[in-house]
Amino acid sequence: MSDSSPTIRLELDSRPECLTLVRSMLAGAAEPLEFDPELLVDLKTAVSEACSNVVLHAYQGDPGPLVVQLGVVGGDVEVVVRDRGSGIRYVASPSEDRMGVGLAVISALADRAEFLTAPDGGTEVRMSFNSRLAGVHTLDRPGAAPVVDAPRQLTGDLVATLSPLLLLGAVLGRVTRALAAGAQFSLDRFSDVYLVTDALAAHAKSAAITQQVSFTIVVASRRLEIMLGPLRNGSGERLRRQRSDSPLTLLTDGLSVERSSGSEILRVVMIDHRGGSSTTAASPAASSS
């Protein structure tokens, strides 16, 4: 993937619900990158097949590390799905390896597909979708940085790193709403998630150090914790002091800052105190469509 291309890297555990989160990420990326609807359907189907095989087979049914990376290079969309599991036994015949029918589906939908067993274990599925399928907006520009590892403070149920910042609002919003539905947020509180993630993206636009930013989300019953960075030192404190009307102060149950290595991480907590008296939001599967 090109160093100047828009890129999103998603790190999460290979649990059944990860399929919803990956599809939510793809739907979020489709908005600013202007994916054609046909391309988005093919992406969701092919990537879901690759991730489903990780969930079912890579770790003998247990959860394990899963990485999904999407990039746009010269108008083509490239996706890599990587695990650290048992690897593919054979790649010559779809009927013989653990990918099964998934390999055939991916090969049919992608313009190019590779199924690799890493030397140190695990499987890497590489897919490329030609620009003839989409009116893809590449966003290539000098400010778009290569995606690297997230800041070490960012650990949780999901970690995402992306560039450029224009991708943040849609991706963060889609993924957080899927997790809020899974956490059984009420409809009233679910609507607050829209406002909070939009406010986080707007804050990052003015406070981020570079065009690359990472976020992590930790989920519990009726509770979400979102951390976002790296941001400029002092930006979080100015937000708390100057923006009393911001959704980040009005609609969250916690707003704090962690400082490290010349930057800071903004942390917000959302708790659904109204969950017991209101209808809950739609299921994650419904929210990712």
Are 173 and 275 part of one and the same domain?
yes
Are 83 and 31 part of one and the same domain?
yes
Residues present in the chain in total: 289
**Containing structural domain, residue 256:** 158-287
Are 86 and 201 part of one and the same domain?
no
Omega within 30 of 0 (cis) for the link into 164: yes
* Residue 138 domain flag: no
CB-based contact 125:113 (threshold 8 Å): yes
CB-based contact 70:22 (threshold 8 Å): no
Alpha-helical (H) ranges within 95-216 are 101-109, 168-182, 187-207
* Residue 141 domain flag: no
Q: Is the Cα dihedral 197, 253, 287, 230 positive or negative?
A: positive
* Residue 38 domain flag: yes
| Domain stop point among 94, 116, 133 | 133
Are 186 and 272 part of one and the same domain?
yes
Q: What is the pTM of this model?
A: 0.86
CB-based contact 127:70 (threshold 8 Å): no
Are 119 and 192 part of one and the same domain?
no
Are 99 and 193 part of one and the same domain?
no
Residue 20, amino acid: T
Are 128 and 178 part of one and the same domain?
no
Block mean pLDDT (10 aa), the chain, length 289: 74 94 97 93 96 89 92 90 75 46 87 86 92 58 47 74 96 97 93 96 95 94 95 86 80 91 92 71 53
Rg (CA), the chain: 19
| pLDDT for 259 | 87
Are 99 and 162 part of one and the same domain?
no
Instruction: Give which of 181, 174, 142, 218 is closest to 8, Cα–Cα.
Output: 174
* Residue 140 domain flag: no
73 token code pair: 């290079």
Is 254 exposed, middle or buried, given 0-12, 13-18 or 19+ CB atoms closer than 10 A? exposed
| pLDDT for 3 | 45
* CA 267/CA 184 separation, integer angstroms: 21
- Percentages of the chain per state (helix, strand, coil), in multiples of 5: 35, 25, 35
Are 206 and 97 part of one and the same domain?
no
Are 47 and 124 part of one and the same domain?
yes
| pLDDT for 221 | 93
Are 44 and 110 part of one and the same domain?
yes
Residue 286, amino acid: A
* Residue 99 domain flag: yes
* Residue 153 domain flag: no
29 token code pair: 């990326």
Count of domains forming the chain: 2
Are 124 and 241 part of one and the same domain?
no
* Residue 249 domain flag: yes
| Domain stop point among 133, 150, 168 | 133
* CA 55/CA 265 separation, integer angstroms: 31
* Residue 151 domain flag: no
| Domain stop point among 133, 166, 194 | 133
What are 24's strand-pairing partners? none
| pLDDT for 222 | 95
